[in-house]
Chain A
Amino acid sequence: MGKPKIATASLAGCFGCHMSLLDIDDRILKLVELVDFDKSPIDDIKKFSGRCLVGLIEGGCANEENVHNLKEFRKHCDILISVGDCAINGGLPAMRNVMPLKECLDEAYLNGPTVYNPEGIVPSDKELPLLLDKVYPCHHVVKIDYYLPGCPPSADTLWEALVALLNNKPLELPYELIKYD
């Protein structure tokens, strides 16, 4: 039997949670002994090659591509984990949830103090993923099995969680590893 597979994705996130995963330092050597990486920015595999045991999702859903990606992950992964505050509550991108999307675009492309846009063009192209009205936490879109909070979750948090899951142990994080900041 081959090694279990892990897939990861960064949706509306900053890749900080992926950086934190790399922060497990030399334990990454143990990790590649335990698992194979499937679709992930870490190995740059773009398409699922088969069923994965664990999917790690960083970031919430800000556009239709995020939603599509997240649904793909749900389809291909046995266990889907929201990693980091953006996946869990939308995080920084969700700051726009308190205002209409149009106001947000106007500020970014028309009215902002540093904007130079003499033709007043607001990007709108079918090649660009359509923005959602709000930024949605992942569990508002698909079923999520576990949550690892933090901005980002520390390398130890990610490591503990992965080791527990891969060894079929319950995920019980000690006090120091539950952080929302």
Chain B
Amino acid sequence: MSEKTLTIKIDGAEVKAKAGQTILEAAEEAGIYIPRLCYLKELSPHGSCRVCLVKVGGKFQTACTEPVVDGAEIENNTDEIKQIRRDIVDMLFVEGNHFCMFCEKSGNCELQAVAYRLGILAPKYPYLFPDAEIDGSHPDIFIDKNRCILCGRCVQASKDLDGKGVFEFVGRGPEKKLAVNAEAKLSDTNMDVVDKATDICPVGAIIKKRIGFATPVGQRTYDEKPIGSDIEQKKS
């Protein structure tokens, strides 16, 4: 059976989509970038970061989980939605301790890059300065929970891609935290530096040791081109 082609509208522009695709996938194929932090192609989407929020027929949905429906009218880059995305990113910044000036991930960090792209100069909410743990026990991998945005990528990647289940969430609501599936430390798990889970952290919460500033700040992924530029390049 051939795949049915659907037509949707994103910000007024007609976009062809395949049945079964999500709005985010269809947009991406058409060269339209929808900001996201927890979504990753290899993982199953769960809409937890809320950054990919769009309006479908006037109703808010996360683009990474919402399937396309023929004829759907989707708002993506409107002032209202951009403001909501800014607010969400603001909250992610004040909930953690995101000190870009000494973070090894700066310039390659997706949270920072989305904030740059949204034009955020400073979060509008008061900083919480939470007390978070760091875990340097593993010989090759370092965990700094100050920077964790609870996107769940590592939890899923370790379980589904690496088949290990090194990470898990503990607690609920404001108490929710990333934890390792061991007595105490990351070194007590079978996590390996070549695991997918090491690579997919959007922020600097899971980083490889001894890489540091090998690529100097100023020459990094998002220093010159905004995040999503690669997707927008596909647009002919």
Q: Which residues of A does B touch, CB under 8 Å?
A: 82, 85, 88-92, 94-95, 97-98, 134, 137, 139-140, 146-149, 151, 173, 175-176, 178-181
In chain B, positions 59-106 with a C-beta closer than 8 Å to chain A are: 93, 97-103, 106
Task: Name A181's contact: one of B120, B122, B217, B224 (CB within 8 Å).
Answer: B217
Q: What is the chain B residue whose CB lies nearest that of A84? A: B101
Task: Name A92's contact: one of B102, B112, B126, B129 (CB within 8 Å).
Answer: B102
Q: What is the chain B residue whose CB lies nearest that of A90? A: B127
B217: A residues at CB distance < 8 A: 181
A178: B residues at CB distance < 8 A: 116, 119-121
| Given A139-B122, A176-B224, A178-B119, A85 and B129 contact (CB-CB distance below 8 Å) | no
Taken together as a complex, chains A and B put the C-alpha atoms of A7 and B147 apart, in Å, by: 35
A97: B residues at CB distance < 8 A: 97, 129
Task: Name A175's contact: one of B107, B116, B122 (CB within 8 Å).
Answer: B116
Mostly, the B contact residues are loop
A91: B residues at CB distance < 8 A: 99, 101
B: interface residue count bin: 20 to 34
The 10 A-B pairs with the shortest beta carbon distances in the complex, nearest first, are: A151-B101, A180-B100, A147-B122, A181-B106, A147-B121, A97-B129, A88-B122, A181-B100, A98-B131, A85-B101
A98: B residues at CB distance < 8 A: 97, 129-132, 146
Q: Closest CB-CB distance, B29 to chain A, in whole Å?
A: 25
Taken together as a complex, chains A and B put the C-alpha atoms of A98 and B131 apart, in Å, by: 5
Q: Which residues of B does A touch, CB under 8 Å?
A: 93, 97-103, 106-107, 112, 115-117, 119-123, 126-127, 129-132, 146, 217, 223-224, 226
- Check A151 against B121 for contact (C-beta < 8 Å): no
Residue of B93, B129, B131, B217 ringed by the most chain A CB atoms within 10 A: B129
CB pairs A–B below 8 angstroms (15 shown)? A82-B122, A85-B101, A88-B122, A89-B123, A90-B127, A92-B101, A92-B102, A95-B99, A140-B127, A146-B121, A149-B122, A175-B116, A175-B117, A180-B100, A181-B217
Taken together as a complex, chains A and B put the C-alpha atoms of A98 and B133 apart, in Å, by: 10
Taken together as a complex, chains A and B put the C-alpha atoms of A101 and B58 apart, in Å, by: 50
B121: A residues at CB distance < 8 A: 146-149, 173, 178
